[in-house]
Structure 1
């Protein structure tokens, strides 16, 4: 969900959060995976909740986020403004804790994960592995600056899994028609990157100056017009999904 948790990230989301919900539409396939991982949990805390994507309908959900702009768009009634590293809840207060595309924003990853384990009996974390060998063509061909940003803020999946005590790691190949408009969603729809509204919903794009983004988008626009992009990536046009290193981690705290 690319949602913030604490530190500098709230300022980014206070800036880009307006209209976020219109672009970041929860994908039903990812929603199903997360719902299955949460199991029969009746009480859930969503840390880095943003606008509430992927929260289960069957549970009582408490949304936590440091950005008031994001929380104002959240449809729920139980909303708490806080960072992941200092959750204002008692030990074991929830059946499950969820964190979707947010742990890379936490200034203290280990402390945040420890808090998930403290306040909930089950932890469900969706994130990306920067050590995964396959990467989005956008980084290599147009915006290598994104690679530097992403690798600076994402922790290797093995380290996240170890810190969380994850017993299950589930791959999630990204479908070609993925509805949640974070960066990887458009791997087979390159023209979507030309839309500044869609780019604005990405925290990565929001951190890059227009002097970097605009020339890159001009090159992409030219390559789409000439057919060069399609010639380079004709193999992608025949694939329904691609594994870009997104994973769902599941852990259970000791009873």
Structure 2
């Protein structure tokens, strides 16, 4: 059983495609006609109009894929069952931090495709998120153990790294998606769709959410974070890495 067989139940309800990220992903793929989507999950960012093959190790995530989604192979990034250079491009969207051996997985992406497009995040910036800094600091140790976008870019010898800010009304429930909508984190379903919270001690998360609830009721959160309320987007460290 993979990690997402346990924490991925209901994932598709909270993690939905946002065109403001899909568009730069499609641009990054360029003219690639064949794309291997590694760690594809429920297929939120699979490019339309191309020959796509998905790779996903979790049966639970595969079960949630929409009818008509790309054909999926159950495998792990570290051992891709494809020939050298089989694809024009390999795509990996917010998955590298879950791999057991991220360097081996990235080497596999390079082996099977001529181009790599990886969406990852800077773990230091994630750890500066107010939810981590002020309410659930235990998340920081998990994030610090994960590969960070600069490490991934260096390993791949990236040709460019593009920042993807998080709009205030982002529809894809990534961990910092609700940076301007703190009430969302009171919803257990929202928290379950964030692996950083789903993999942190439930007691620590509950303590932090109780403090957040109290600060929202008292008005303290809004008073201390008033500068966020006028922002249209925020840089949480998400980076689109291209080779």
For the Cα contact (< 8 Å) 1:134–1:245, is it kept in 2?
no
Instruction: Provide the residue aligned with 2:231 in structure 1.
Output: 239
Mapping of 1:1-255 within 5 angstroms?
A: 11-75=2-66, 76-132=69-125, 135-153=128-146, 155-251=147-243
Q: CA deviation at 1:11?
A: 2.9
Q: Report the secondary structure of 1:95's partner residue.
A: strand
Q: CA deviation at 1:45?
A: 0.6
Q: Report the secondary structure of 1:235's partner residue.
A: helix
For the Cα contact (< 8 Å) 2:127–2:143, is it kept in 1?
no
CA shift in 2, pair 1:132/1:125, >3 Å: same
For the Cα contact (< 8 Å) 2:36–2:55, is it kept in 1?
yes
Q: Deviations over 1:25-58 (max 9, x none)?
A: 1111000010100112111111000000111111
For the Cα contact (< 8 Å) 1:42–1:95, is it kept in 2?
yes
Q: CA deviation at 1:208?
A: 2.1
Counterpart Cα distance in 1 of 2:192 and 2:144: 20
Alpha-carbon RMSD across the aligned residues, in angstroms, is 1.4
For the Cα contact (< 8 Å) 1:94–1:120, is it kept in 2?
yes
After the TM superposition, which segments of 4 or more aligned residues of structure 1 sit over 6 Å from their partners?
none
CA shift in 2, pair 1:134/1:20, >3 Å: closer
For the Cα contact (< 8 Å) 2:127–2:140, is it kept in 1?
no
In terms of mean alpha carbon deviation, does 203-212 or 60-69 score higher? 203-212
For the Cα contact (< 8 Å) 2:127–2:133, is it kept in 1?
no
TM-score of the aligned structures, taking structure 2 as reference length: 0.95
TM-score of the aligned structures, taking structure 1 as reference length: 0.91
CA shift in 2, pair 1:229/1:52, >3 Å: same
For the Cα contact (< 8 Å) 1:130–1:245, is it kept in 2?
yes
In terms of mean alpha carbon deviation, does 28-37 or 128-137 score higher? 128-137
Q: CA deviation at 1:147?
A: 1.0
Counterpart Cα distance in 1 of 2:129 and 2:162: 20
Counterpart Cα distance in 2 of 1:228 and 1:43: 51
Counterpart Cα distance in 1 of 2:180 and 2:33: 37
CA shift in 2, pair 1:177/1:168, >3 Å: same
In terms of mean alpha carbon deviation, does 125-134 or 155-164 score higher? 125-134
